């Protein structure tokens, strides 16, 4: 891999700090590193490979520096304003927010699924929604062989998906204090509400899962529906995935395909109470799949349970993998 000059926008956030960890763990060859945040955290010192870096306030001049790739993770409004500025300065943006994901000229990439889409970027590449990333990886080999007709997602999403404020609401709730981030207490509760409600009565999170699945798998004919739920779990999203295939399938072939898919760990031994759980995936990059079984209510139906660390594979790790694809392509 060639050396790269990297900027992290939102470096002090939950995803931003994980970028640093993942870049370090994967031995990403960094020539120069620039860290940006809002005015609030400017001046914070963060360590990367034993060297201390000072976080700078993000301004319109930030991208006049010598940067190849900027990893953005500071929310949609920051991406909307600053990604075009970075692009004008010849920097390739990998964006974690949802604002560019469905643009026709912006690739939406999960490296285990559609790495070839890196070839048509024109300065901005979108990192998909966390719950979508973990689902499309197991869907891909199954779609390739059995052709998916319909997907029903039901998600159980950790509070860290709302950043530091989500974690605070859970901890405060457990201690009997008021919620600030969510409309209701999240401690000892489940909220069928992630992101805003839209006119069609779905939440934006549900629409992200529906639309992004089709874009990443490159098939607009797949029917997808979703119900997304916030649960009192710190790290790790879980998704119950119900599939209907066009073709008949053998369960043994499904197990074989999932077992052989890069990035997936099949953890499925119900007789011994072995199945994936969010507490076990914290800090890991793999996507865990279990409870794989036929849906007998359909002709060609399958159920499975998919769990991954939303901050790592759902955000930072996937974005760093995209950066690796880029570096190897440049």
Ligand X SMILES: NC(=O)c1ccc[n+]([C@@H]2O[C@H](COP(=O)([O-])OP(=O)(O)OC[C@H]3O[C@@H](n4cnc5c(N)ncnc54)[C@H](OP(=O)(O)O)[C@@H]3O)[C@@H](O)[C@H]2O)c1
Angle at 142 between CA 327 and CA 258, to 5 degrees: 75
- CB nearer ligand X, residue 195 or residue 268: 195
Point out the catalytic residue in the list 121, 130, 135, 143: 130
Q: Interface with ligand X includes 40 (CB under 6 A)?
A: yes
H-state helical runs in 33-75: none
**Any contact of residue 12 with ligand X (CB under 6 A)?**
yes
DSSP helix/strand/coil, 52: strand
SS3 per-residue string spanning 188-252? CCCECCCCCECCCCCEHHHHHHHHHHHHHHCCCCCEEEEEEEECCCCCCEEEEEEEEECCCCCHH
* 241 Cβ neighbours under 8 A, 6+ residues apart: 135, 138, 139, 151, 152, 153, 303, 304, 305, 306
Residue of 6, 7, 15, 113 interacting with ligand X (CB under 6 A): 15
**Given candidates 6, 70, 71, 78, which one binds ligand X under the rule CB under 6 A?**
78
Instruction: Candidates 147-155, 186-194, 245-253, 306-314: pick the segment binding ligand X (CB under 6 A).
Output: 306-314
Closest distance to ligand X from the beta carbon of 16 (Å): 5
Residue 204 · residue 107 · CB < 8 Å: no
Site for ligand X, residues 93 to 112, rule: CB under 6 A? 96-97
The reply to whether 315 sits near ligand X by the rule CB under 6 A is yes
Classify the C-alpha dihedral 305-309-314-317 as positive or negative.
negative
User: Beta-carbon neighbour count of residue 102 at 10 Å?
Assistant: 15
Interaction between residue 46 and ligand X (CB under 6 A):
no
Taking the complex as a whole, the smallest distance from the CB of residue 123 to ligand X amounts, in Å, to: 19
Q: Is 190 a catalytic residue?
A: no
Q: What mask, x for binding ligand X by CB under 6 A, covers residues 155 to 194? A: -----xx-xx------------------------------
Which positions touch ligand X (CB under 6 A)? 10-16, 36-38, 40-41, 58, 73-75, 78, 96-97, 130, 160-161, 163-164, 310-311, 314-315
**Catalytic site positions:** 130, 237
């Amino acid at each position: 891999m060639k050396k790269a000059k990297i900027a992290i926008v939102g470096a002090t956030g939950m995803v931003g700090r994980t970028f640093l960890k993942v870049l370090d763990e994967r031995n990403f060859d960094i020539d120069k590193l620039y860290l940006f945040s809002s005015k609030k955290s400017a001046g914070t010192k963060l360590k990367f490979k034993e060297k201390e870096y000072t976080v700078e306030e993000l301004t319109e001049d930030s991208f006049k520096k010598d940067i190849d790739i900027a990893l953005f993770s500071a929310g949609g409004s920051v991406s909307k304003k600053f990604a075009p500025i970075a692009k004008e300065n010849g920097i390739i943006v990998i964006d974690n927010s949802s604002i560019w994901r469905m643009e026709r000229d912006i690739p939406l990439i999960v490296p285990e699924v559609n790495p070839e889409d890196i070839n048509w970027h024109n300065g901005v590449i979108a990192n998909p929604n966390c719950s979508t990333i973990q689902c499309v990886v197991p869907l891909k080999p199954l779609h390739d062989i059995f052709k998916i007709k319909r997907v029903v997602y039901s998600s159980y999403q950790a509070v860290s998906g709302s950043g530091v404020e989500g974690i605070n609401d859970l901890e405060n709730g457990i201690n009997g204090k008021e919620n600030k981030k969510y409309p209701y207490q999240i401690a000892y509760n489940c909220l069928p509400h992630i992101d805003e409600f839209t006119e069609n009565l779905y939440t934006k999170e549900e629409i992200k899962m529906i639309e992004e699945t089709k874009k990443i798998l490159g098939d607009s004919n797949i029917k997808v529906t979703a119900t997304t739920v916030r649960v009192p779990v710190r790290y790790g999203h879980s998704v119950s995935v119900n599939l209907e295939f066009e073709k008949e399938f053998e369960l043994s072939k499904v197990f074989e395909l999932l077992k052989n898919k890069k990035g997936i760990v099949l953890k499925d031994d119900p007789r011994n109470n072995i199945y994936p759980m969010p507490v076990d995936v914290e800090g890991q990059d793999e996507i865990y799949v279990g409870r794989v079984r036929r849906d007998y209510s359909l002709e060609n139906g399958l159920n499975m349970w998919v769990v991954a660390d939303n901050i790592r594979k759902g955000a930072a790790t996937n974005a760093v993998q995209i950066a690796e694809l880029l570096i190897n392509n440049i």
